Amino acid sequence: MADMRKYASGLLRPEDIHDGPRNEKIVNVYISEKLNAPILEFESGDSMVAWNNIARILAKAYGYEDTDWVGHTIELSIGTYTNKDGEQKENIQVRAVSSRDSKEVVPIAKDLNDEIPF
């Protein structure tokens, strides 16, 4: 049996949220060198770029270290912004759902090998 989530998931776009807000638990955060921005990986297998405004919301809610964000649940919903040409565009907005103190421990690695010394 194979887990097909990696084939059915990817970077979230606003059109992925059109069915209404959804809650996602952050299981990993890493910095994309290509985008120079944090990438949030969710328990669902999906991920999203945490551009400056999203990073500010998460830092305010959970702290400034990437590990502070892991284990928390956030709400993703549709928002809008006006681009430099004056056009309204959709984006994904986030809202902290879990409190700073209610962080759930999420295992970082599933296959730890005792033969490798730390």
Alpha-carbon gap, residue 59 to 99, rounded angstroms: 12
What residues contact 55, with CB distance under 8 A and at least 6 apart?
A: 37, 38
Q: Is the pTM of this model over 0.85?
A: no
CB 93 within 8 A of CB 77: yes
**What ranges do the domains of the chain cover?**
10-98
Residue for token pair 């996602």: 24
pLDDT for position 53: 93
Q: Which CATH class is domain 10-98?
A: mainly beta
Q: Give the tens place of pLDDT for each residue, 9-43.
A: 678 989 989 889 999 999 999 999 999 999 999 99
